[in-house]
Amino acid sequence: MKNIAVLTSGGDSPGMNSAIRAVARTCAHYEIKCTGIIRGYSGLIENDTKNLYTRSVRGIINRGGTFLYSARSEEFKTKSGRAKAFNNIKANEIDGLVVIGGDGSFTGGLKFSEEFNFPVIGIPGTIDNDLFGTSHTLGYDTALNTATEAIDKIRDTAISHHRLFLVEVMGRDAGFIALNTGLAIGAQEILIPEVNMSSENLINSLKRSKSAGKTSTIIVVAEGDKTGESVFQLANMIEEKLPKYEVRVSVLGHMQRGGSPSCFDRVLGTQMGITAVESLLNGESRVMIGIQNGKINKTDLSKAIKGKSKINKELLRMSKIMNT
């Protein structure tokens, strides 16, 4: 293996730069070439690349986003698109590819690897933490801290005005961010995609807290929560049923995906980047680098994509104890 390429694909996440830096510097350490692909699979199809040297990746470990840019490529979902990408891989004499992204990016990477018998290693980069085989994806820890800090600020207004705030956090299909930030900020209730908390239970919980003398309330709602209603519809429903509540909605949105990565994500990105290159050098392919109980591990890409990463429902039970 003489030339390893790296790309970032799908939603960006803090820590991606740390992983890119680690890939580039590990290649330099083993005296092989490192090729950065610009804008994910789109760049691979358009042959938009640049050589990455040790110095090319200086000053990026503390930066959010991705220095190689990211994209979503519809063309890569087609066989002809992937064939164009493979032609560029051959033209650039690339021997292996590190894909930093989420399950969509891994699905594309796996197809590409199988179709052309080409070595691909995945690094999980998403704030949603929804990949099987790793307790933490890159960016998740930073997003937790960002969301916690933001909700702490919202709480100031909730307390000052005796209001109920519904705060929507990211997580289209997974409740990891909602569950952990909810517990961290002392949410009255946490609504997530994995557990069906009916509207009736929500209303009863609010009635109980009102009669217990609680004057301000925060409910953390994951984007894809099971009620199937938007956070604005939930707010209307609460105001209709419990007119004593003055309800406000706050959608945290993409601010959760940006910002300087936490110490944890920088260290994780470094460990994952080094392990990805060393795995390719050892002849491995189609695995995702992850972390479990503090140790770097590897999971087959097919399992990482298809397996269900389970949220810790015990945290939901504990959150309820905190709100008695």
Per-residue b or e along 73-102, where b marks 16 or more CB atoms closer than 10 Å to that residue's CB: beebeeeebbebbbebbeebebbbbbbbbb
List the one residue from 60, 69, 104, 163 that touches ligand ADP (CB under 6 A): 104
Q: Is 262 in the site for ligand ADP (CB under 6 A)?
A: no
Residue 146: partners with Cβ closer than 8 Å, 6 or more residues away = 255, 256, 258, 259
Is 38 in contact with 49 (CB distance < 8 Å)? yes
Q: Is 266 in the site for ligand F6P (CB under 6 A)?
A: no
Residues 43-82 interacting with ligand ADP (rule: CB under 6 A): 72-73, 76-77
Please select the residue that binds ligand F6P; options are 128, 168, 189, 194, rule is CB under 6 A: 128
76 binds, among ligand ADP, ligand F6P, none (CB under 5 to 8 A by kind): ligand ADP
The window from 168-176, 234-242, 271-279, 294-302 that contacts ligand F6P (CB under 6 A) reads 168-176
User: Interaction with ligand F6P in 206-235: which residues (CB under 6 A)?
Assistant: 223
- Sequence-ordered list of residues with C-beta below 8 angstroms from that of 203, at least 6 positions apart, any chain: 238, 241, 242
CA dihedral (114, 116, 120, 126) positive or negative = negative
Nearest CB to ligand ADP, comparing residues 174 and 238 = 174
Helix, strand, or coil (residue 165): strand
Binding partner selected for residue 41 from ligand F6P, ligand ADP, none, CB under the kind-specific 5 to 8 Å limit: ligand ADP
| Shortest reach from residue 248's CB to ligand F6P, in Å | 22
Active-site residue, 128 included: yes
Tell me how far the alpha carbon of residue 209 is from its chain's centroid: 33
Cβ proximity to ligand ADP: between 9 and 250 the closer is 9
Instruction: Name residue 33's amino acid.
Output: K
Binding mask 166-205 for ligand ADP (x = CB under 6 A): ----------------------------------------
Catalytic residue, chosen from 12, 95, 128, 141, is 128
125 Cβ contact list (under 8 Å, min separation 6): 8, 10, 12, 13, 15, 16, 19, 100, 101, 102, 137, 138, 139
Binding mask 304-323 for ligand ADP (x = CB under 6 A): --------------------
Q: What are the residues binding ligand ADP (CB under 6 A)?
A: 9-11, 41, 72-73, 76-77, 101-105, 107-108, 111, 126
